[in-house]
Amino acid sequence: MQFDTPALLYAFGLTLFAGLSTGIGSLMALLSRKFNPKFLAISLGFSAGVMIYVSLVEILAKSRASLTTIYDVKTGNWIALGAFFAGIGLIALIDRLVPSYENPHEMKNLAHPRASQAHDAKRLMRMGVFSALAISIHNFPEGMATFIGALHDPTMGISIAGAIAIHNIPEGIAVSVPIYFATRSHKRAFLYSFASGLAEPIGALVGFFLLSSFFTPATFGIVFALIAGIMVYISLDELLPTAEEYGEHHLAIGGLVGGMAVMGVSLVLFL
C-alpha cells in the first residue's frame, strides 16, 4: 500500500508528539528542587499505578486481542499468559544476576552517612535506568501502533496519540524522579526521560521501513505480553517498595491509586 508524503509526515508528527510527552512529565517532576521524601513516595507510587494499570488493562489486552486473531481464543490466551510470566521471569533473572552489593533490593545498614547516601543513589539510579529501559521497550511498539493507525485513519491516529501522550507524561516522571534524586542533575534526569520517549518515533520508522512485512500479529501479541510482565515486575519489586521506604505507606498507596485513576480516565476519554 502506497502513502503520500503529507500522510507520512502527519503520522510521524503524531508519533513524535506522543513519544516526547515523557519530557513534559519530566519537567513537571523536576519543578521540585529540594529533596522531598513525600513527593518522591507519591511520585513513585503514582508511576507504579500507571505502569500496573497500563500493563494489565491495556497492553495485556492488546496482546490477547492480537493472538486470538490467529489462534483460537483459549490458545491465544494461554500464549499471552505464558509470555506475560516469561517477561516477569526475564526481568527477575536479570535482577538476580546483579551482584548483591549493587543490587538495590539487598538492603544494608551502612554506618557512614556518605556511604549510605551513595548506596541510596545507586539504588535510585538503577531503578530509573530500568524504568527507562522498560518504558523504551514499551514505547517502541506503541510508536508502530500510533504511526500505522494514523496512516490508515487520521482521526483514529489523533485519539491514539492523545491517549499515549497522556500515558507518557507520568512515565516521564517514573524515569526522571529517581534519576534526579540519585544525581541531583536536572539535565541528566530530563535527558534519560527524553531518550525513553524517542523510542516511539524510532519504533514508527523501524516498523514502517523494516518490520511491516514480517511483524505478524502473533509476534506483536507476544512482545506486548512480555512488556506487560516486565512493567508489572518493576512496579511491584522496585517502584512500590522504594516509595514506601521514602514515605508513609498511605502516601505510596495513594499515589498508586492516583496513577491508576489517571490512566483509567485517559483510556475512557480516548475510546
pTM for this structure?
0.61
Closest by CA to 23, choosing from 151, 191, 161, is: 191
Query: What residue type is 67 in one-letter code?
Result: L
Q: Quick one: pLDDT band at residue 108, thresholds 50, 70, 90?
A: very low
Residue 49's pLDDT is what?
86
Q: Tens digits of per-residue pLDDT, 205-248?
A: 877 776 666 667 787 788 778 878 887 887 888 778 877 776 67
Q: Quick one: pLDDT band at residue 269, thresholds 50, 70, 90?
A: confident
- The radius of gyration of the chain from alpha carbons, rounded to an integer in Å, stands at 19
The whole-number average pLDDT for the span 94-100 is 62
**Please, what is the average pLDDT of the chain?**
76
Cβ-proximal residues to 106 (8 Å cutoff; 6+ apart), any chain: 100
Residue 67's pLDDT is what?
92
Alpha helical stretches, state H, the chain: 5-19, 21-29, 37-53, 60-68, 73-97, 113-152, 154-183, 186-197, 199-206, 217-234, 240-246, 249-269
Domain boundaries defined on the chain = 23-269
Q: Quick one: pLDDT band at residue 32, thresholds 50, 70, 90?
A: low
Cβ-proximal residues to 7 (8 Å cutoff; 6+ apart), any chain: 151, 154
Q: Tens digits of per-residue pLDDT, 137-165?
A: 767 767 776 787 677 667 767 766 776 77
Q: Quick one: pLDDT band at residue 11, thresholds 50, 70, 90?
A: confident
Please check the confidence at residue 169 and state whether its pLDDT lies above 50.
Answer: yes
Give the C-alpha separation, 230 to 8, whole Å. Answer: 32
Residue 75's pLDDT is what?
94
Residue 167's pLDDT is what?
63
Residue 110's pLDDT is what?
31
